[in-house]
Amino acid sequence: EAGVTQFPSHSVIEKGQTVTLRCDPISGHDNLYWYRRVMGKEIKFLLHFVKESKQDESGMPNNRFLAERTGGTYSTLKVQPAELEDSGVYFCASSRGLQETQYFGPGTRLLVL
Amino acid sequence: GIQVEQSPPDLILQEGANSTLRCNFSDSVNNLQWFHQNPWGQLINLFYIPSGTKQNGRLSATTVATERYSLLYISSSQTTDSGVYFCAVLETSGSRLTFGEGTQLTVNP
């Protein structure tokens, strides 16, 4: 069984540009989560999808961040326009059930210059 | 929201030594996971352990849910064990994992 995959693995962009991150969850996992670790701090929750619906997006920092999960399969996280403080590692995770183990992808390292 | 505290924040060991990492949490949880973030930034699942004890090779973990803490034991440490170890908990009423700040482990040859 393939794990959670994320693309790209690294992205370097300039302030003001747009970046789109992609996450493919484990097949059959209805729950998909986005988290991020910025500036070496703790990993923080961004949002949670159940299938194609946003269940909880209370962790999204501001309206420059837009997440979608069309069709309930893969998800994208767009940052537009990117700011310096958005630099960090963005993780995606998926789980079969709501309170079950969350499996994390390898992350996307984002650097905004 | 729930608070998660990990200790120690930093730990330096010689290869072959044993260590214990601790995770305290402030409220009842439905799930607790331990992760290892390797030098490449990847988060590796170590244990799903809301209660009890589990072992996997040189690693073992114990969660005492009634006292709101979990311990991760690393025996005969190797240089490849280096990285950040995170504890994360899932509150009884939620779906998000709340992470501690991690323990930075360095194992020297």
Q: From the list A98, A107, A109, which residue is nearest B95 (CB)? A: A98
Among A19, A46, A25, A40, which residue's Cα sits nearest to residue A110?
A: A19
Chain A residue numbers with beta carbons less than 8 Å from the beta carbon of B61 are none
pLDDT in tens, B9-40: 999 999 999 999 999 999 999 899 999 998 87
Shortest CA gap A15–chain B (Å): 23
d(CA B64, CA A97): 24
Nearest to A103 by CA among A31, A38, A44, A39: A31
Spell out which residues of chain B touch residue A107, defining contact as CB-CB under 8 Å.
41-43
What Cα–Cα distance (Å) separates residue B62 from each residue in A39, A67, B72, B73, B90?
30, 36, 7, 8, 16
Rounded Cα–Cα distance for residues B77 and A31 (Å): 35
- Count of beta carbons in the 10 Å neighbourhood of residue A96: 14
The one-digit pLDDT tens for each residue of chain B (109 residues) are: 899 999 999 999 999 999 999 999 999 998 999 999 988 788 899 999 999 999 999 999 999 999 999 999 999 999 999 999 999 999 887 789 999 999 999 999 9
Name the pLDDT band for A69 (thresholds 50, 70, 90). Answer: very high
3-state class (DSSP) for residue B11: strand
Give the A:B interface size as CB pairs under 8 Å.
54
